[in-house]
Amino acid sequence: MMEPAEVISSFFSKEIPITTKFLDLVDEVNNSLEQLDLPKTVQCVYNPTIYARYTFEKYVYKYCSSKKRIMYFGMNPGPWGMSQTGVPFGEISSVRDWLQISGPVGKPPNEINARRVQGFECSRTEVLYVLQISGKRFWGLFKDLCEIPENFFQTSFVYNYLPQQWMKSNGCNLTPGDFKVSDMERLYDICDPIFVKVLQLYEVKTIVAIGKFCETRAQRALKKYLPDVPIEIVYLPHPSPRSVNNNNWDQKAIEYLKKYDILKFYKTSPTK
């Protein structure tokens, strides 16, 4: 018969789920960001990993509960995507209808009227549709390739470098890429190590950096913190319609994925 001490020992040695470890890292970066002095032009900060925690955790528990060989690496939440839904590249219909995630979304402490957070009730006017199109393009591509989300998330997941959206007082969006590197060094000191810990946690083999900012941050973080670990970094253009000559982003993205030998992972039935 097992002694009580052995039972207790067995209980406390139980492996901590990867989702718990990941959410702890999110909390770690958020706690550090609370102490960060931002440039004066940043008048308002939204953090959907805090006020949209319910749906953000749904994304994590549903799709990030196992190790992943591929990370799609984004910069930060957009005003009509993750800032509304709590899900990276979180265009509302893609999150609700394809990823099958929905639920209550709270409010940031300092809400700007021009950038109101309405969660899944957000109005979908022509203007908002244009602003949501990055997420619609991103998840739309993988819906076409994979048919069901499980065929994407079996090997891949999406992670944002910075969990915050920054704005001017009029609601104009700002990103770390809008500032001098020297002004962002403290931010990099906070976010780079967490990014590296997430890579190690999920045992990522390939980083698909979405946009040049993310490509640069991935290169510098790996060089500083994991110089001897052979993690591949590849570049994917950002799906934003504001990018020059980006009307055929889907076709370009497929060509990039073919070139990097990544397209093979997205089949219409999960790889055994």
pLDDT band at 72 (very low <50, low <70, confident <90, very high): very high
State the pLDDT at residue 83: 95
Secondary structure of residue 172 in the 3-state scheme: coil
State the total domains in the chain.
1
Q: Is residue 12, in this structure, part of any structural domain at all?
A: no
Contacts of 123 (CB under 8 A, 6+ apart): none
- Whether the CB-CB separation of 87 and 95 falls below 8 Å is answered with yes
State the pLDDT at residue 3: 45
> Across residues 218-247, what is the average pLDDT?
90
Q: 44 — phi, psi (to 5°)? A: -150, 140
- Whether the CB-CB separation of 207 and 216 falls below 8 Å is answered with no
Could you list the residue range(s) of the whole structural domain that residue 77 is in? 17-265
- Whether the CB-CB separation of 22 and 198 falls below 8 Å is answered with yes
Q: Is residue 8, in this structure, part of any structural domain at all?
A: no
pLDDT band at 127 (very low <50, low <70, confident <90, very high): very low
State the pLDDT at residue 216: 97
Q: Does residue 122 have a pLDDT over 70?
A: yes
Mean pLDDT, the chain, as a whole number? 90
What is the spatial distance between Cα 234 and Cα 136, in angstroms, rounded to a whole number?
22
State the pLDDT at residue 271: 43
Q: Is residue 7, in this structure, part of any structural domain at all?
A: no
Q: Is residue 226, in this structure, part of any structural domain at all?
A: yes
pLDDT band at 124 (very low <50, low <70, confident <90, very high): low
Q: Is residue 6, in this structure, part of any structural domain at all?
A: no
Q: Does residue 128 have a pLDDT over 50?
A: no
Q: Is residue 43, in this structure, part of any structural domain at all?
A: yes
Task: Give me the CATH number covering residue 27.
Answer: 3.40.470.10
Q: Is residue 82, in this structure, part of any structural domain at all?
A: yes
Beta bridge pairs of residue 80: none
Q: Is residue 41, in this structure, part of any structural domain at all?
A: yes
> Across residues 164-183, what is the average pLDDT?
94
pTM for this model (two decimals): 0.90
What is the spatial distance between Cα 23 and Cα 14, in angstroms, rounded to a whole number?
18
Angle at 19 between CA 165 and CA 121, to 5 degrees: 45
The residue written with tokens 């550090």 in the block is: 32
State the pLDDT at residue 123: 67
Q: Which tens digit of pLDDT belongs to each residue from 38-62?
A: 999 999 999 999 999 999 999 999 9
Q: Which tens digit of pLDDT belongs to each residue from 103-119?
A: 999 999 999 988 999 99
